[in-house]
Amino acid sequence: MANTTEIVPINRNSAIEQYEIEDIKQKIYTIRGKQVMLDSDVAILYHYETKKINQAVKRNIDRFPEKFCFRLTENELDDNWSQFVTSSAKEDIKHRGKKYLPLAFTEQGIAMLSGVLKNQIAVQVSINIMDAFVEMRKFMINNGQIFSK
């Protein structure tokens, strides 16, 4: 049975920082042909430590098939480093060992994660992240001709 106990955010007393959809869209990358967010960026948005996000996934691994969440390979990390350099998660990614390559969450993985974390911050932030994924998908569809050139 999955563990869905509440994980306490880093700073429970701080006001929930509101992230604009445009800010969230800057944290969405395309890897393996999928739009994803890295665990460290998700952790920042949810006000958690990356380690706690990864622990929640590990405790509920049956809820996160590869189409929802996958670990980047060293090559993927190297190949996409220029995308990640502008990310606020840069330092977190840089100091990980090979054992702790980043997790990448698809839109479905973000939805599942909000259910596992079970707190109001996760619910609200997940709604904003879902909106950002939808806007990115619409942008890609509307500008597909430009990208194909």
In angstroms, the CA 3 to CA 59 distance is 6
Q: Evaluate if residue 81 carries a pLDDT over 60.
A: yes
Number of domains in the chain: 1
Average pLDDT over residues 89-101: 57
Residue 100 lies inside a defined structural domain of this protein:
yes
Residue 36 token pair: 């994803």
In angstroms, the CA 129 to CA 112 distance is 12
Residue 57 lies inside a defined structural domain of this protein:
yes
> Which pLDDT does position 64 carry in this prediction?
97
108 lies in which domain range? 21-148
Q: pTM of this prediction? A: 0.72
> Which pLDDT does position 39 carry in this prediction?
94
In angstroms, the CA 108 to CA 111 distance is 5
Residue 5 lies inside a defined structural domain of this protein:
no
Confidence of residue 62 (pLDDT cuts 50, 70, 90): very high
In angstroms, the CA 112 to CA 35 distance is 16
